[in-house]
Amino acid sequence: MSQALPAFPVPESLTNLVGQFQGRCPVCKLPAYINGVFQGSEMVHGVLCTRCGSYKIQFPFAAYFKPEVLSPRQIATISGYIRENPGVQISTEEDVNFLCELSSPTVSEKASKLLAALARLHPKPGVILETTLSFIDNQMTHFLSMHGEKFPSDPAADRAALALFPCLSTSWTCDEAELRFVLVEYLSKGVGLLDILNEGGHGQPIQFQISPKGWDHLQSSGVANSATGFVAMWFSGEMVPVWEKAFYPAIKAAGYSPLRIDKKEHNNKIDDEIMASIRGSRFIVADFTGERGGVYFEAGYAGGLGKPVIWTVRKDWLNKLHFDTRQFNHITWSEDNLAGFAEALRLRIEATIGKGSFR
């Protein structure tokens, strides 16, 4: 049997931070690397949580996420939302309410999110993956039982947290038992999208691989092997230079094929073609300049499918955004620095989805 790979490997970009996850995540209370930065006159803390992933928060609002108020289900849902939308900013009471009122996905949706994430991390069919589920609850209990807002520097504990906790947020699950049900009982025994090679237990890792049926499912849903980056934007003459000098070259430089629906030849009804194109894309770039209703719809549709959405807007439109989207971490741009915007967009694509191979 081939050597198994970690299902959720620790990214190389985080290895230099191992030993520095000493802050307590405001949302889930697990280890996080926290760094304060000024945005104008406001202090905003960038949080890199071992469970939730990356987000920003103005610290007065951290007090709203109290474990005695939020249920484990709410924490799992908020954590899953942040993991799925890296860079979310929590800066108003409305942002907090939005997160606390999110609905938990169905079991089927959780399974789809987990399967898609595994395929993105390990796009080569036949790879054997493993993770040690039996340590998750013990590690959470260990960290949550510690007092204070700071953890001692512990590189070994950081590595364990970075390897274990992303499984929970990626699947939007509460604990080891729910995650095991989604992974083993549903994805493998229920619908056959995973093949379990070793169920683990007693401290041994569970080993599995995406089944042929699983790859067929991913391909039909447009999750696997797509090289397309769909751009939802305002089709105005003033946006032509932005497409030509920023969106198009940035997506190509990141290794993907840029797609704008008005540039695609088709004979179908336009809304059917838009939805089909989004389903077949690896990710979507949504630019909210001009506040076009179609862009809001397309970003929401992509998010509902579990597609990564990268949010952009011209700087002077940032304060006009609807509440539904303004908490996302938008890349802002201006006409006098489209080259800088293209580079920022390329980096965000590669950080969020990974480097593509389209040339």
- Arithmetic mean of pLDDT, 35-40: 72
DSSP letter (8 states) at residue 217: H
Which of 34-38, 271-275, 276-280, 345-349 ranks highest by mean pLDDT?
Answer: 345-349
Predicted confidence band of residue 328 (pLDDT cuts 50, 70, 90): confident
Contact assessment for residue 63 and residue 155, using Cβ atoms and an 8 Å cutoff: no
Q: CA separation (Å) from 300 to 18, 118, 215, 353?
A: 35, 22, 25, 18
Predicted confidence band of residue 265 (pLDDT cuts 50, 70, 90): very low
- Arithmetic mean of pLDDT, 81-99: 86
- Indicate whether 345 pLDDT > 90: yes
pLDDT at residue number 173 = 97
**φ, ψ for residue 175, nearest 5 deg:** -160, -175
pLDDT at residue number 335 = 93
Residues found in the chain:
359
DSSP letter (8 states) at residue 315: G
Contact assessment for residue 285 and residue 312, using Cβ atoms and an 8 Å cutoff: yes
DSSP letter (8 states) at residue 124: S
Contact assessment for residue 113 and residue 306, using Cβ atoms and an 8 Å cutoff: yes
Q: Which helix (H) or strand (E) is 138 found in, with range?
A: helix 136-145
Lowest mean pLDDT among 23-32, 51-60, 299-308: 299-308
Which residues are 129's β-sheet partners?
A: 5, 208
pLDDT at residue number 1 = 55
Contact assessment for residue 327 and residue 96, using Cβ atoms and an 8 Å cutoff: no
- Written as six digits, the tokens of 52 are 């939730």
Taking only Cα atoms into account, the Rg of the chain, rounded to an integer number of angstroms, comes to 20
pLDDT at residue number 218 = 83
- Written as six digits, the tokens of 206 are 């569970």
* pTM (two decimals): 0.72
The string over 24-59, giving b where at least 16 C-beta atoms fall within 10 Å of a residue's C-beta and e elsewhere, is bbbbbbbbbbbeeeeeeeeebbbbbbbbbbbbbbbe
- Written as six digits, the tokens of 128 are 């054997």
Residues 164-192: tens digit of each pLDDT: 999 999 999 999 999 999 999 999 999 99
User: What is the percent of the chain where pLDDT is above 90?
Assistant: 52
Q: CA separation (Å) from 343 to 25, 253, 279, 349?
A: 30, 9, 26, 10
Q: Between these two residues, 227 and 195, which has the higher pLDDT value?
A: 195
pLDDT at residue number 266 = 41
Q: CA separation (Å) from 2 to 127, 131, 193, 197, 224?
A: 8, 15, 20, 12, 22
- Indicate whether 41 pLDDT > 80: no
Cα distance between residue 80 and residue 130, in whole Å: 21
Instruction: Parse the chain into domains and list their residue ranges.
Output: 1-213, 228-352
Contact assessment for residue 43 and residue 67, using Cβ atoms and an 8 Å cutoff: no
- Arithmetic mean of pLDDT, 199-205: 79
- Indicate whether 290 pLDDT > 80: yes
Residues 147-169: tens digit of each pLDDT: 988 999 999 999 999 999 999 99
pLDDT at residue number 143 = 95
Top CATH class of 228-352 equals alpha beta
Closest CA to 28 of 93, 80, 90: 80
pLDDT at residue number 155 = 94
Contact assessment for residue 158 and residue 15, using Cβ atoms and an 8 Å cutoff: no
